[in-house]
Structure 1
Amino acid sequence: MFAIFITGGKQYEVKKGDTIYVEKLEAKEGTVVSFDKVLMVNANYGTPFVKNAKVSCKVEKHGKQKKISIIKHKRYSRYLKRQGHRQPYTKLVVTSIEVK
């Protein structure tokens, strides 16, 4: 059984036991988070969401991704700006997919 759900403006396809990295959620480590914006379960499509369906996940940890470098440069004008960014994430483990 697989499902496609939305969180953080992105869609994720998951099965029971999968590990995924999503945009940072305001939940403590070890708690269970459920998502009810499920677009599809197996071959059942929603319009736009599948009714009475939810995906439950356990929060494993919070962290930051690898640093990316942003460099802005304009030639001949002595303009050079360097900036870095580390995107926060939440690591989730899918515990169950339910459809009533």
Structure 2
Amino acid sequence: MYAIVYFNGKQYKVEKDQVIYTEKVKDVDPGNEVVLDKVIYLSKEEEKKAGKPYVEGAKVITEVVEHGKDRKVKIIKFEGRKNYRREKGHRQEYTALKIKEIEG
């Protein structure tokens, strides 16, 4: 059984006991539950449901595992022969969600 959910402006294909990494969700502590109710597609063994735009009555229950920062991405500006070099780094914050249950 799997579902495709819309969360934080992105779509995720999720299965039970899977951990997904999303952009940081504010005001949620590790250990709390987050309910994802925008289910676009739901697939059971033989039954498949596609929403218009979302499947009615379907939801995915998740648990917040942790908040953290991703690995550093370097941004480099360079112009040859002009002695111009700039280097910046960026670490995106994320929230890890563990899929507990898929209902619908």
TM-score by length of 1: 0.94
Consecutive aligned runs of 4 or more in structure 1 exceeding 6 Å deviation: none
Question: What count of residue pairs does the alignment treat as equivalent?
Answer: 99
- Cα distance in 1 for partners of 2:54, 2:82 equals 52
Equivalence for 2:34: 33
- Cα distance in 1 for partners of 2:8, 2:83 equals 39
Are residues 1:60 and 2:61 paired? no
Q: CA RMSD in A?
A: 0.9
Residue identity in the other structure for 2:34: V
Equivalence for 1:6: 6
Residue identity in the other structure for 1:39: I
- Cα distance in 2 for partners of 1:92, 1:5 equals 13
TM-score by length of 2: 0.90
5+ residue gaps in structure 1? none
Residue identity in the other structure for 1:17: D
- Cα distance in 1 for partners of 2:16, 2:70 equals 24
